[in-house]
Structure 1
């Protein structure tokens, strides 16, 4: 009776780095083999010499290493173009994107007998689950299951922390800025998904440029959501003006659609940042 083929997974992978080409025959390259060198260039505008690191792919990831390829690799090692290669007993070609920034995610969880949705920021799905798990363990008492994770690309998350731009109101301090828990104290916490079109005009433009944005806003109503969005956009325009010296102004902000959004909490960015991988120097 024919024995079924053994299913290969990462659990069965044997991966290692070596400069001994006798050990790599019959394996696969686990990563691109790069020749790296540095070149100096003169910046004519400043007279400064700039050093740039250059790379050339000598051998591509996933290639089977036979005697001929092992000889070529050995030649590159002897020529000091490379120091070693990383090999595997499995042929793996796809690579997961390395995201360095934080992206918005919606994480759903069944906590006790209720469904909860959380908005948070993370580098990838794995990190999003870690952030949500940590947050739930700290803020709930029942057992739970993570039931869904969705990337909400191109969505801007706004907690209503910009009330300092709004007139002082009940629950606010003298500057008009509310305490972190003011909404809970008033019992008017709501979440809205808002699509807005923003017209911004630069000094040298005859007509303003229009850009569409999607927001998830934690606030009390749609009118206040527009105020919060306006404050965020004004802050971004002012930030760009200070950075580039390009005078710009917001001509109009149109709310194209606004609807309640099923959400139980927006996890603070500072909490999410604890799970962000440090960028390599």
Structure 2
């Protein structure tokens, strides 16, 4: 049912921050996703769902905005690197190269077990890039989200003091903020319910989760499909078909 993106259909975009955005794909229009950028809607037509795309702004190498399919290996690169590092003894540079200011955890026999962030001071002054410089990087069309993150991390004065866990959290926060990526998902009942609860007015669905809405629909014998045929019941007092309203009252 949801194989390829067709014109005039509603889709869901999942942004790097986790926010969901529902929109309609209209041919020959421009889709804007706020600070993450914009792109022509025609670039999504005919493409499959459940893929992650990166917006490549027009520059000297590209005459117009393009969408790059982000491979799964790149999306999960950080997780794969962390797993590989954990299986290789002595491969973590945060453990091999220890500073006194990093407050290392030392065993009774003198072996260094890892770093602690007890003495690490989280100060905004340690980021040498100013707010204006970061804004210029974001507005520049030649730099991708990964390049912006790399420059921000390079300008951090005390990045080497962070533990592996703290560094992973720091990188994830920057990725959610600067990566110009989005994932295209079909707008089905499950996704619409999630969108209403998390990003829209949850009161319109009475804060009911997906499983509760499904159970209510099951009890009410709600079926998929619409029939315009209206038939009178055998006793002549009621009608069947033509659509019915299901009302939930919490009073």
TM-score, length basis structure 2: 0.22
Q: Which gives a bigger RCO, structure 1 or 2 (Cα 8 Å, sep 6+)?
A: 2
Structure with bigger gyration radius: 1
Q: TM-score, normalised by structure 1?
A: 0.21
Greater fraction of residues in strand = 1
